[in-house]
Structure 1
């Protein structure tokens, strides 16, 4: 099965817009993974591979929404103050199975089945007693405090659509109709590695000019939150043959390969050159900030994304471009993340012709639209900005100036990281 359509891009060296890149990803990629059956208890954060249909009603039968006394409304309409004999009791799991006499009442607890022929319940705190008989309150409506069979779920209705992420509430929803196993999409197999002679892994001894690699932990964590099965392949040195051999090898056993670093035009940027010897490059330059050098292509039928090496650029590009690609390949779709408008808490100039994503912190307002502040510096290597922020501020490619108070688009991290 093809991960990306061949020959879908006319000119890989062309600088394209962010929106165009997203359109090309959507048109090129298609569902890759198969399906498997998973026990409901093990299905958290998996994605449904088929629509789920209710096998039964919920509730199964009419039952009481309160503790009280059940009765037949037709016997109450003109005789609501008449003391009634209590014919018995219905509790959850222990229903009153006889047919009670007309004009009587049955004590009933929350969740208990309604007695045969009875359709209304008076709350226990609203009744009074005359000896061992109960007097119902006035002005009750027919069907009061009764839950009808199928009120929540009807047998045969579609509960959840294919591609739905199974959170706690979805799992409970399925359990409520007796479903104990589901068909879910298999996890996308993704390989991740960084490139650079200067990089070392956390815990290793430093040397002059060394830099701890933060990109792999960022990417693997994001990918796992997107439901992927991730292989961390570590750090590759800046040698074209090494990079080429690694790409070729992992492409045979993975659905998607992601690298960070080495996709620009420098002498030691070997990823793009090595990849071009074994794969097909679809695009590698996008008019964005941060992250202009971003490569998308394929090695055979395996998708490839080459991210910039700067941590913030890799982080932002993963949120904006890898997330929708993974969504298509994994089966959970391309629905864009929720965004909202906020007032800019800053002033800035911007070059036209490129989309920018600023690390932003949104503060709600008590009586209106909240404010989005941007981090005080824009460097692509400053990870503290991502820790400070709670989302991204998107500035369109046609915008050249933002005045404090202008409306801007805010993308919360809670949406981009799931």
Structure 2
């Protein structure tokens, strides 16, 4: 007899983290809607189209140093040049410069017409002859020395940023220097979250026996804010089928993505898995990482779904390692901002069973002999302190076993989501 629709359970398959990420990335497409925002609201937004400069930077030939603008070919040993004016930043010298003459110039000032070189003020001897200033240059300067040419930094029409670039603080300064008051960006991805469980209490209430405080929702919301998405917090729900199904309905209409923790393992005594099978197309996976083996991914109408493990550290690890790359693609980002693996000497023995890649929490530092790392006490997936006190993961490969102290290991510095 076929099973009822809500009881259908896909046989778990142990995937590597890389396989899980590849399968998810292959299915999602970036949001298409875009909007114009002013520079003051553009930080961490994703560009919807390439940004090309409409001007040259610099916009004109100018002095790279304080000194004297002259014609390099007119510099002769023992032959003074007459100073006929001053060029200041914002105040160009516009008169013609006769042969055998030069102009005092400050950094950033327009190079006067007909002159081709700047000699630093420290490299000339300034004298006064009959109430007229002259300079004497004792060396032969090269043409264009200490001159910044128009368009040398950025040429008119040059692409400055590609579509999909996430705007950083320095980028805002560059955009402002090019005269952009606003830019077109992708709309923010909307990500809904909620917590479920009769054992959970909101922080601030009196803790009673058999209960714990709801922590996953707060750490997930903070990590998502670091990603630059709009968080839709649907709150803390009881273990009630109708309440949970109603929250799913809200997420499906209000958000692009829904992320939950707990309820995706076989045999868990809650309603999340049943509702998912009823409302959407969900894959229930076992991913070969520790912490974080149970994981779900799929779609609820037009809302993507990620089901994370319930243990706090496992939820954090899977959100950062598995979900983050997919959310970045959905947001329209092109760049992979995950820090690269580094090599470090571990000062302590490491315990591990082969079978799953292990993301142990650690603290790394630069020692006299190079990069060092140590673990931070218990690696229990229920202890958020192991994340809060760490600055990196010690990444042990899937088939690796325990290692003695002094071994070189791979470490992954925390991404911006946790720093």
Taking structure 1 as the reference length, what is the TM-score of the superposition? 0.93
1:72 aligns with 2:71: yes
What SS does the aligned partner of 2:254 have?
coil
Shift of 1:139: 3.7
Q: Give the Cα separation in 1 of the matches to 2:11 and 2:99.
A: 82
Q: CA separation in 1, counterparts of 2:206 and 2:360?
A: 33
| Contact map agreement 1:226 1:417 (CA 8 A) in 2 | no
CA distance in 1, matches of 2:268, 2:107: 74
Offset at residue 174 of structure 1 (A): 1.4
Report Cα offsets for 1:278-330 as digits up to 9, x if no partner: 11112332122111111111111210111111111111111111211111111
Report the secondary structure of 1:401's partner residue. Answer: coil
Structure 2 alignment gaps of length 5 or more:
1-8
- Aligned with 2:178: secondary structure? coil
Partner of 2:259: 258
> Partners in 1 of 2:416 and 2:347 — Cα distance?
22
Task: Specify which of 98, 103, 110 is matched with residue 101 of structure 1.
Answer: 98
**Paired residues of 2:339 and 2:414 also in contact (CA < 8 A):** no
Consecutive unaligned residues in structure 1, runs of 5 or more = 1-9
Does the 8 A contact of 2:191 with 2:230 survive in 1? yes
| Alpha-carbon distance change, 144 to 136 in structure 1, aligned in 2, over 3 angstroms | same
CA displacement 1:89-140 (0-9 Å, x = unmatched): 1101110111201110100011000011111111112221221212124142
The answer to whether 1:92 aligns with 2:89 is yes
SS of the equivalent of 2:221 reads helix
Q: Is residue 213 of structure 2 the alignment partner of residue 212 of structure 1?
A: yes
**Count of matched residue positions in the alignment of Structure 1 and Structure 2:** 406
Identify the residue that residue 305 of structure 1 maps to in structure 2: 306
TM-score, normalised by the number of residues in structure 2: 0.92
Q: Indicate conservation of the 8 Å contact 1:163/1:332, yes or no.
A: yes
Aligned partners of 1:15, 1:134: CA distance in 2, in Å? 79
Tell me the C-alpha RMSD between the 2 structures. Answer: 1.8
- Greater shift after overlay, 108-117 or 199-208? 199-208
The answer to whether the aligner puts 1:110 opposite 2:107 as a matched pair is yes
Where 2:183 maps in the other structure, the secondary structure is strand
Partner of 2:250: 249
Question: Kindly tell me: are residues 180 and 394 of structure 1, through their superposed partners in 2, closer, same or farther at Cα, counting changes over 3 Å?
Answer: same
SS where residue 326 of structure 1 aligns? helix
> What's the CA shift for 1:366?
3.6
Contact residue 226 and residue 417 of structure 2 kept, 8 A? no
2:5 corresponds to:
none
What's 1:36 paired with?
Answer: 35
Identify which of 354, 357, 361 aligns with 2:356: 354
8 Å CA contact 2:251, 2:257 repeated in 1: no
Q: Secondary structure at the match of 2:14?
A: coil
Counterpart residue number, 1:160 = 161
**Residue 83 in structure 1 maps to residue 80 in structure 2:** yes
The Cα shift of 1:362 comes to: 0.9
Are 1:375 and 2:376 an aligned pair?
Answer: yes
Asked if the contact 1:192–1:258 (Cα under 8 Å) also holds between the matched residues in 2, the reply is yes
